[in-house]
Amino acid sequence: MVGNTVTGAIYLSMLDMILLIVFLFLIDGILRLFPFLNKISKYLKSRR
């Protein structure tokens, strides 16, 4: 029983770390996309 809880805790902490890393990657990607989207919208507005 103790072994199960220990492995469960390890799995949970690993999952937490992975989720945190994925979350940071998503935020980074969104922040990098914002200037790109601004450039595209400005380009489209200037085309009209």
Report the chain's mean pLDDT, rounded to a whole number: 90
- Does pTM top 0.75 for this prediction? no
How distant, in Å, are the alpha carbons of 2, 28, 39, 44, 45 from that of 48?
Answer: 68, 31, 15, 7, 6
CA distance 37 to 12: 36
pLDDT at 11: 92
